[in-house]
């Protein structure tokens, strides 16, 4: 089994715990699974149909679409901003949902995980992310979830990749996603 998963992180902050969680997914990916952490979401302009025209798609959006087009599955990392999905992650979903009915997510599996400061680990934002990516055409794995609460305390002195419980939960999500990605690619 060889599966390529594209990881999209909804936080742009250098020290983001969600970014660290994505790094842990890359580090602990099972054999045969490659997780590419997409760099450059900050450079993708807000979706605007006026600039989404053949020959005129901004370079950053074209790079995102190219990376997504060659992915077998998607792993989205969502913090929670004011009880909702971060704009940068929603924008990526919007770009990848086009062209309508044939966007990069269409028919491919996706899972959403994340960590947040609050006591519920960002579940509202993660649920909204699942909804948005599902409407964009992905086959959302509803049972492949990982919400880690109180990130500021939990990861104050420990990287998520060094937290056994987090790595176990993340590995289960990645394995489920890889299995679904392998089946979708077949």
Which residues have CB under 8 Å from 185's CB, separation 6+?
3, 72
What is the extent of the structural domain holding 40? 3-185
Q: Tally the domains of the chain.
A: 1
Q: Please give the share of the chain, as a percent, with pLDDT higher than 90.
A: 84
| Whole-number Å distance between alpha carbons of 1 and 19 | 26
pTM for the predicted model, two decimal places: 0.96
Classify the C-alpha dihedral 87-88-89-93 as positive or negative. Answer: positive
Residue 131 has pLDDT above 70, yes or no: yes
Give residue-wise pLDDT tens across range 58-100: 999 999 999 999 999 999 999 999 999 999 999 999 999 998 8
What's the CATH number where 132 sits?
3.40.50.360
The DSSP code sequence of 2-16 is: -EEEEEEES---TT-
Structure confidence at residue 64 (pLDDT): 98
Can the peptide bond before residue 99 be classed as cis, meaning omega within 30 degrees of 0?
yes
């Amino acid at each position: 089994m060889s599966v390529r998963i594209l990881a999209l992180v909804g936080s742009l902050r250098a020290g983001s715990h969600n970014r660290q969680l994505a790094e842990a997914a890359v580090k602990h990916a099972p054999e045969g699974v490659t997780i590419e952490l997409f760099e450059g979401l900050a450079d993708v302009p807000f979706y605007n149909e006026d600039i989404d025209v053949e020959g005129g798609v901004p370079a950053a959006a074209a790079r995102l679409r190219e990376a997504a087009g060659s992915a077998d599955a998607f792993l989205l990392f969502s913090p929670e901003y004011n009880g909702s999905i971060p704009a940068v992650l929603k924008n990526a979903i919007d770009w990848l949902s086009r062209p309508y009915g044939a966007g990069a997510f269409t028919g491919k599996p996706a899972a959403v995980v994340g960590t947040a400061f609050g006591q519920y680990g960002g579940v509202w934002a993660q649920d909204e992310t699942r909804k948005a990516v599902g409407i964009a055409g992905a086959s959302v794995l509803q049972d492949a979830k990982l919400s880690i609460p109180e990130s500021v305390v939990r990861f104050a002195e420990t990287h998520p990749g060094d937290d056994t419980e987090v790595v176990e939960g993340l590995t289960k999500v990645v394995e489920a996603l890889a299995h679904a990605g392998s089946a979708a690619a077949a």
